[in-house]
Chains A and B, each alone.
Chain A
Amino acid sequence: MAELKPILLVEDNPKDLELTLAALEQSQLANEVVVVRDGEEALDFLYRRGAHESRNTSDPAVVLLDLKLPKVDGLEVLETVKADPHLRQTPVVMLTSSREESDLVRSYELGVNAFVVKPVGFREFFDAIQDLGVFWAILNEPPPRRNGA
């Protein structure tokens, strides 16, 4: 089995963060969960820049990306990731409070792998987070990378 890659969780709201982490915890994934709090930091992590310049973790198995973020918002992060030939393969799941169709349409245009509207019900929310974690972190075999990095 390949090295276990981390889950990158991009979330600015501390309450949502705590609830999401609780859900992920409950799913008992072995993957490390790396938390960043805005879009800029997310990109720093992905590009090994700034505070994450010398990270020794591998690239994430999945990015759980909140849509509304300070500095660089979720859609911009998504756009950057999907426009980059090295990062394009990394699955990105958009997590959002909004049911706005425009956000959904835009996300799919930019190549999002899944779009999840955070359910109000706790059970549904937990189920959704756990399903995502399990599906993307464990079950989903990422395609082989061309440069082997």
Chain B
Amino acid sequence: MTLQMQDIDLTACEREPIHIPGSIQPHGILLAIRLSDRTIAYASANVAEIFGFGATDVLGRPFDQVLPALSAEFSTQLNDPPTAGNSRFVRTIRVMTAQEEKFFETAVSRSGDYAILELEEPPVGSVSSIDALYPTLRRFVEQLQGASTIEALCRMAAQDIRRMTGFDRVLIYRFDEQWNGTVVAEDRNEVLPSYLDLRFPASDIPAQARELYRRNRLRIIPDAGYAPVPIQSHDPAPLDLSDSVLRSVSPVHLEYMRNMGTLASMSISILRDGRLWGLISCHNRDPKRVSLQVRNACDFLTQIFSLQLEARENTTLADNRVRLGAIRTRLLAHMAAEDHFIAGLVNHPDDLMMLASAQGAAILTQDQCCCLGQTPDKNQVRALFDWLSEHQQEDVLATDTLSEIYPAAKAFADQASGLLSISISKVHSSYVLWFRPEVVQTVKWGGNPEKPVREEAGSLRLHPRLSFEIWKETVRDRSLPWDRSEVEAVNELRNAIVGIVLRRAEEMAALTEELRRSNKELEAFSYSVSHDLRAPFRHIVGYSELLKKQEASEMSEKGKRYVDTIIEAAYTAGTLVDNLLRFSHMGRTALKPRPVDVARLVDEVRQKLMAQQGERRIQWIVGDLPPMTADPVLIRLVFENLLDNAVKYTRTREKARIEIGSRRQDGETIYFVRDNGVGFDMKYIDKLFGVFQRLHRMEEFEGTGIGLANVRRIVERHGGRAWAEGALDKGATFSIALPDQNEGAA
């Protein structure tokens, strides 16, 4: 395998198989022992410098024959090799080399069917045991307890790692959602420049490198100018060095280091919930070695740091959850107190917005749009609603750059660069939205992030950027990000609302079912009444008439009057039943609205009435009566009742005068019937439209007292109103108002 720097396509970084470089760094040697037969399967070329025999000479030979002392040292590890994903520092051992006895720090890892042994000669002057590192570790752990913030914690970790290793600069580097990294803490001397607050593009650490970092927590490159040492083997398959400590790195990375002016580097992964949270990144201007012992201690310290970080973040999260939980509970109480959840939210905008630390909120359904606090205008919110209805698939949508997914949002970045949206129902699109305004930020990049690579003139060769000079970028259309606890809180609010909506729907369904049942019972009842209750009255009337006729000659005048009274009473009772049935029927049958020629209808009713009046003279004044849309049968009943009343109650007038007219007013057409009859006392106005309410004695004016109840019921079923004005002995005016287009008809 050639180890010369090749022409590298940097865009191919993502594809470079960095776990099988086929070589190691030169500060140690590597042997891979086949576990099945304990033969040496791979050996780095530099074993010759230590042991005096060529790597190829020992390949395929039993380990315990070639290096019996070493084999004996590692017998335990070979019997029980570490699992993949773990390398194990063993200890410092004394090894007889070709020249002399030397100390080596050793590490063992597993690679498929092989155990990998790596030996490093400790750097001159390095500590020889964990004892020397213990005070630093101890102090770190003690101080951790006192660190009040995550920032302080990060600073402390940077300081202690630098103290233990002696690097020129130690950075705590944190990944964001897009895997860009930001330097959140730093400890350094004056040799290297400060990188604090600088951001580095995600492409600086490609995906497969991040995966390797997650698996193998610590890497070191003591000298970026090193010459890789090839690994020799009879086996054509390259050895997987994922867990190795000496793995040779990508030439591109070495170039990157040289461009950055750091010849030595070490990085330790900070894992949180198994995910790469960030890195502790150490740099030195000049080559620098760190003993395996110290590196191990650094890894240990970093793990403590990770746990502490996790604990801190969890505490913050828990605090937020408790705080937001209290707000959510209040909102639930508000919603439970109202008929509809929307009212519960709208009436408590502060709690609603506080739930997500938002500056504005909106509650949206197909026909409602309530904006609270700082929001885009209603039309913009409506348009956003339409977009969400089409595009929001998930229950909760959280973005701090709405304009990226919904470009129209650029127009209202001041109110809503950030959007948090919960979808209550997909069927009847409804949403609760929270808005956050734009926060203009200046991001300092470590070099231009738009040009992480450069092309060499005249060739296809690409190189990492040369300059890490601060490159400032102004970020617009972005709000503060939504916190995990906030997203959780609104999701839980969503669940609660869905619960409430479902419960309401169930209650409504139960109510409808109950109504349907009682309606059915009522129908059965009225059917039975109409058949069975009418008949006896008919029989009383019929037989009384027969009796009167049969016994006409025998009966006294008094007897005849009694019989007449029976007939009249039964007749009235029968009519009452008829009217009652009609009244109950009216409330139940479906309206069949169609255009009604009111002028013609009134004329017909009037003619029919007048035909029954014999000698009476009535002055009719009929004004303009525009057509309406209504159930013709029912609306005829209304005019029959109103006109019949007018005729009836003007009976005592010598000059009866009845006026029928209409007027338009506030989206309604009002029809009225005015007479100069006996009128009524306004203090009984409430009784006028009641069922069986009468304001006159029977002998004055006949009737069952149901006519006006019918009028009101019919008009109200058409979405209109019915009312009356009058004064005793001064006539009366009855009015009905029907909304234009009859929108209220049901």
Contacts and interface: CB of A to CB of B under 8 A. Distances in A.
A36 to B, nearest CB: 19
B571 A120 contact: yes
B539 A15 contact: yes
B574 A120 contact: yes
Interface string B432-458: 000000000000000000000000000
A97 B538 contact: yes
Given A99-B581, A101-B585, A122 B530 contact: no
Contacts of A19: 538-539, 542-543, 546
How many of chain A's residues touch chain B, expressed as a range?
10 to 19
B543 A15 contact: yes
Contacts of A114: none
A122 B527 contact: no
Contacts of A120: 534, 537-538, 541, 570-571, 574-575, 578
Interface string A17-30: 00100100000000
Of listed A100, A120, A121, A122, residue having the most chain B CB within 10 A: A120
B336 interface: no
Contacts of B575: 120
B531 A125 contact: no
A100 B538 contact: no
B542 A98 contact: no
B585 A97 contact: no
B286 interface: no
B36 interface: no
Interface in B97-121: none
Interface string B528-548: 001110110111011111100
B539 A99 contact: no
B607 interface: no
Contacts of B570: 120
A80 interface: no
Contacts of B567: 122
A58 interface: no
A121 B582 CA distance: 18
> Which of B534, B537, B542, B574: most chain A Cβ within 10 A?
B542
Given A19-B546, A118-B538, A125-B538, A100 B571 contact: no
Given A120-B575, A121-B571, A97 B541 contact: no
B531 A122 contact: no
Interface string A93-115: 00011111100000000000000
A100 B532 CA distance: 12
Q: Name the residue among B538, B582, B585 with the largest chain A CB count within 10 angstroms.
A: B538
Contacts of B532: 97
B530 A100 contact: yes
A99 B589 contact: no
A13 interface: yes
Given A120-B537, A120-B575, A125-B538, A100 B527 contact: yes
Nearest to A122: B545
A68 B531 contact: yes
Contacts of B530: 97-100
B544 to A, nearest CB: 8
A71 B589 CA distance: 30
A136 to B, nearest CB: 22
A117 B516 CA distance: 28
B355 to A, nearest CB: 55
Given A15-B543, A121-B541, A122-B542, A99 B578 contact: yes
Nearest to B567: A122
B545 A97 contact: no
| A22, A98, A119, most chain B CB atoms within 10 A | A98
A29 to B, nearest CB: 18
A53 interface: no
A99 B542 contact: no
A99 to B, nearest CB: 6
Contact of B534 (A22, A97, A101): A97
Contacts of A16: 535, 538-539
A118 B574 CA distance: 11
Contacts, number: 62
Interface-central residue, B541, B543, B570, B581, by most chain A CB under 10 Å: B541
A100 B534 CA distance: 12
Interface centre among B545, B570, B582 (most CB of A within 10 A): B545
Contacts of B589: 101
Nearest to B576: A120
Given A15-B543, A120-B578, A98 B538 contact: no
Nearest to B575: A120
Contacts of B534: 97-98, 118, 120
A19 B537 CA distance: 13
A22 B535 CA distance: 16
A3 to B, nearest CB: 32
B578 to A, nearest CB: 7
A121 B534 CA distance: 11
A98 B539 contact: no
A120 B573 CA distance: 9
A13 to B, nearest CB: 7
Contacts of A100: 526-527, 530
Nearest to A99: B530
Interface in B328-382: none
Interface in B558-594: 567, 570-571, 574-575, 578, 581-582, 585, 589
Contacts of A22: 542, 546
A125 B534 CA distance: 13
Nearest to B527: A100
Contacts of A98: 527, 530-531, 534
Nearest to A15: B539
A68 B531 CA distance: 8
Nearest to A67: B531
B684 to A, nearest CB: 30
Nearest to B526: A100
Nearest to B529: A98
A56 B570 CA distance: 42
Contacts of A99: 530, 578, 581-582, 585
Nearest to B546: A22
A50 B543 CA distance: 34
Contacts of A68: 531
Contacts of B571: 120-121
A105 to B, nearest CB: 11
Given A99-B578, A101-B585, A13 B541 contact: no
B542 to A, nearest CB: 4
A118 B534 CA distance: 9
A120 B542 CA distance: 8
Interface in A111-149: 118-123, 125
B71 to A, nearest CB: 103
A70 B297 CA distance: 102
Contacts of A119: 538
Contacts of A15: 535, 539, 542-543
A135 to B, nearest CB: 21
Interface in A67-81: 68
Contacts of B535: 13, 15-16, 97, 118
B419 to A, nearest CB: 56
16 contacts: A15-B535, A16-B535, A19-B546, A68-B531, A96-B531, A97-B534, A97-B535, A98-B530, A99-B585, A118-B535, A119-B538, A120-B534, A120-B538, A120-B574, A122-B542, A122-B545
| Leading 9 A-B pairs by shortest Cβ distance | A120-B574, A122-B545, A19-B542, A98-B530, A15-B539, A97-B531, A122-B541, A97-B534, A98-B531
Given A98-B534, A100-B527, 19 more contacts: A15-B535, A15-B539, A16-B538, A19-B539, A19-B542, A22-B542, A22-B546, A68-B531, A97-B530, A99-B530, A100-B526, A101-B589, A118-B534, A120-B537, A120-B570, A121-B571, A122-B542, A125-B538, A125-B542
